[in-house]
Amino acid sequence: MRRPEPLAWPPAGVAGARTGARRSPGRLLLQRFLRHRLALASGLLLLGLVAAALAAPLVAMALGLDANAVDLLDRFGPPSAAHPLGTDELGRDVLLRLLYGGRVSLAVGLLGALAAALIGTVIGLLAGYAGGRTDAALMRLTDAVIALPLLPLLIVLAALDYSKLGLPGGLMRSEQGSLYVILMIVALVGWTTVARLVRGATLSVREHDFVRAARALGAGPAWIMGRHILPNVLSPIIVATTLSVGNIVLTESVLSFLGLGIQPPLPSWGNMLTNAQDTIWQAPALAIWPGLMIFVTVIAFNFLGDGLQDALDPRSGQH
């Protein structure tokens, strides 16, 4: 992440001379510090969150608790040694549920973003490289998906009875079933940004001489797309995917909050807030923690994406 100072181009003195004395070296340093350190701090924070979520079973062992253990005699408990963040409306430990919920929410965010990026990359490459009618049809499809009122349709998709489509009903009703459905839904609607970016980048890369040379040497379209174009369009994919993780975490949490995403007792940060509004008078803290986790995660992914954009695409920055 750290930039090697002596190699920075143009050298600080030249940049200063060109833009005038308005930007002193100290100020430049401060600007770099604020901009990239924010992304760096976000990355570290996210690593910490992932580690904490992975360590959830260890924390459960250390506390001697079970995340799903209901204790109706200890509802809305205040923070204590046994329950560091207190207990919820069923007497379950809030800290443990936050950690286990983090596993679900982060997994949906990361896997969903990857799946969406995969779909978007394939569609974008095909549209950009094939051109003509394929391009027109795929881009019309992309425009149509972008133009839809997303949340109401997502609610419909989440409420469907997938056993009517011939999918195994037992699997769909299992605890993990809602996880698969959510992953499919977010991937299904999340690919549009990547598809557009990849198409745009492909259009310009395919005109380069090295692509023409590869074609002259007898390379097939699949080889050219995978070997020559894909590596050159990776940076917009990385940036867009990072930014989309935040959006997917938001989408999952909204659907789970509305009772249509991750189904309890499997905790997610979204469904932990489903009952928070009803119990807001007795236990306001229950309404704070899961939302704060979502907010921090999403803003960290947004900062990280912004930082990556500046680092990977210097032209997008204001120099």
Partner 1 sequence: MLRYLVQRALEALAVLLLMSFVIYLLLGLMPGDPIDLMASGDPRITPADIARLKALYGLDRPLLERYGHWLAGSLTGDFGYSRIHAVPVLEVLAPRLVNTVWLMGLSFLLACLIALPAGVLAAVRPQGWLDYGINLVAFAGLSLPSFWLGILLILLFSVELGWLPAGGVGTVGGGGLGDRILHLILPVLALTLLTTGRLIRFTRGAMIEALRQNHIRTARAKGLAPAAVVLRHAVPNAMIPVVTVLALDFGSLFSGALVIETIFAYQGMGKLIYDAILGNDYNLALVGLLFATLLTLLSNLAADLVYAWLDPRIAYAPA
Contact (Cβ atoms closer than 8 angstroms) between residue 144 and residue 244: no
Compute the least distance from the CB of residue 173 to partner 1, in Å: 11
Compute the least distance from the CB of residue 58 to partner 1, in Å: 28
Q: Is 174 in the site for partner 1 (CB under 8 A)?
A: no
Q: Is 155 in the site for partner 1 (CB under 8 A)?
A: yes
The whole-angstrom separation of Cα 249 and Cα 159 is 19
Please identify, using beta-carbon distances, which residue of 65 and 85 lies nearer to partner 1: 85
CA dist 228 → 132, 194, 221, 313 (Å) = 21, 18, 10, 19
Please identify, using beta-carbon distances, which residue of 68 and 275 lies nearer to partner 1: 275
**Residue 227 DSSP one-character state:** I
The whole-angstrom separation of Cα 254 and Cα 150 is 12
Compute the least distance from the CB of residue 212 to partner 1, in Å: 25
Please identify, using beta-carbon distances, which residue of 13 and 166 lies nearer to partner 1: 166
Q: Tell me the Ramachandran region of residue 205: left when phi exceeds 0, alpha when psi lies from -120 to 50, beta otherwise.
A: alpha
In the block, tokens 């680092």 appear at: 311
Q: Is 64 in the site for partner 1 (CB under 8 A)?
A: no
Site for partner 1 in 18-57 (CB under 8 A): 31, 34-35
Encoded one letter per residue, x for contact with partner 1 by CB under 8 A and - for no contact, window 276-315 reads: xx--xx--x--xx-xx--xx--xx--xx--x---------
Please identify, using beta-carbon distances, which residue of 80 and 277 lies nearer to partner 1: 277
DSSP letters, 112-126, are HHHHHHHHHHHHHHH
Contact (Cβ atoms closer than 8 angstroms) between residue 268 and residue 256: yes
In the block, tokens 């390379």 appear at: 219
Cα–Cα–Cα angle for 224, 226, 228, rounded to 5 degrees: 50
Q: Is 159 in the site for partner 1 (CB under 8 A)?
A: yes
Q: Is 176 helix (H, G, I), strand (E, B) or coil?
A: coil
Structure tokens at 118: 């995969």
Please identify, using beta-carbon distances, which residue of 31 and 80 lies nearer to partner 1: 31
**Which member of 149, 216, 217, 218 binds partner 1 (CB under 8 A)?**
149
**Which member of 164, 209, 216, 218 binds partner 1 (CB under 8 A)?**
164
Please identify, using beta-carbon distances, which residue of 61 and 137 lies nearer to partner 1: 137
Encoded one letter per residue, x for contact with partner 1 by CB under 8 A and - for no contact, window 239-278 reads: -------x---x--xx--xxx----------x--x--xx-
Q: Is 139 in the site for partner 1 (CB under 8 A)?
A: no
CB-count exposure of residue 24 (10 Å: 0-12, 13-18, 19+): exposed
Residues 6+ apart with CB under 8 A from 149: none
**Which member of 7, 21, 51, 147 binds partner 1 (CB under 8 A)?**
147
Length of the chain: 319
The whole-angstrom separation of Cα 222 and Cα 11 is 42
The whole-angstrom separation of Cα 104 and Cα 182 is 11
Residues in binding contact with partner 1, number by CB under 8 A = 46
Binding footprint of partner 1 on the chain (CB under 8 A):
31, 34-35, 144, 147-153, 155-157, 159-162, 164-165, 246, 250, 253-254, 257-259, 270, 273, 276-277, 280-281, 284, 287-288, 290-291, 294-295, 298-299, 302-303, 306, 318
